[in-house]
Structure 1
């Protein structure tokens, strides 16, 4: 994978201050009292207390941090070391790791592999290299507990259609359980400008 393949790395290459801007943006939003926990509320409702949750493409840790505060065991992974440093500073508690989702192999880092939920919010799947999308989804499948689920959300018009995503998910062994158009449980409809897909690894 080259820098040009990954949209986030391309943004950093074009603007070395991009990560710092992103971190400050969310710190400012939190200071203003903005609701940054919508995705986390949905994930929290899917599992009992003490669940194992992977925050994939965790960024500054806003989703995983909220879930950890609710009593879950959270591991967060992101490609950007600056974002992971911010997560460690702002959201202590979870295990925050720098890593490429297309190479996700948490047992090699001494972390048990099976998660009750893997959440991938913040349009992460539209930032990764197109050639890595299916591999990322396969890695998610490999890290799921027996009855685990993957929750992935991203907007339309970002170079990755929802139909393409669902085809890739099927190729990776993930089956749609529920499709929504928002993190607050509105049903998915044809032409929706956002998709929240809840996927299972069950055949």
Structure 2
């Protein structure tokens, strides 16, 4: 069982969506992730939203002209995503066993985005397998961007994954470090409890 399932029981989709809707209603900018993705790959690029949740990031990327597929294990989150954008491809799957080659268009994504603390909320011990699966979904030269908390102030659970461990998993999966930011608005990372990391697949 993932740490997310332990935390929520897999029934938090509507509550999660309501919380973000309230933030948006208060004037909070909710599209930093999509904006950063748009600086990494051009419109029209193929994007895999890994741990897409209720679809906030993927729906925005689609509006910006990207060809997106969303994958998440939580049926309650996907139910919200499908209600909001029934025309988009939402797939229920465990990222640790997900086979991107089985998707329409195959494993040939220009970008994988993992927002929303995906990696710290995986089942403990599956992090390397998930990085490997996501790396295999990239075309040669494709990018993976992942943002997650590193301490209890930035996570709903106790931290289990460090940046060096994440980088090691990426290297083992054939990914090359490109850049790291402190926020999805691309502020420089100078230490701290949250990081957004960009890695690139070998160009082949």
Instruction: Judge same fold: TM > 0.5, yes or no.
Output: yes
Q: Secondary structure at the match of 2:33?
A: helix
Spell out, residue by residue over 1:151-202, the C-alpha distance to the aligned partner (whole angstroms, 9 max, x if none). Answer: 011111122111111112112211111111111111222x322111110111
TM-score (norm 2): 0.89
Aligned counterparts, 1:85-124, within 5 A: 85-124=79-118
**Cα 1:17/1:97, change in 2 over 3 Å:** closer
Deviations 1:118-155 (A, max 9, x none): 00011110000121110111111111011210001111
Equivalent in the alignment of 2:193: 193
Distance in 2 (CA, whole Å) between partners of 1:95 and 1:73 is: 10
SS of residue matched to 1:149: strand
**CA distance in structure 1 between the partners assigned to 2:169 and 2:56 by the alignment:** 27
Count of residues paired in the alignment? 196
DSSP-derived class of the 2:68 partner = strand
Equivalent position to 2:37, from 40, 43, 61? 43
Higher relative helix content = 1
Instruction: Name the residue aligned to 1:145.
Output: 139
1:40 Cα deviation after fit: 0.5
In 2: Cα distance, 1:184 partner to 1:12 partner: 28
Q: Is the 8 A contact 2:69 2:88 kept in 1?
A: yes
| Gaps in structure 1 of 5+ consecutive residues | none
Where relative contact order (Cα < 8 A, 6+ residues apart) is larger, the structure is 2
CA contact (8 A) 1:188 1:195 kept: yes
* DSSP 3-state at the match of 2:125: helix
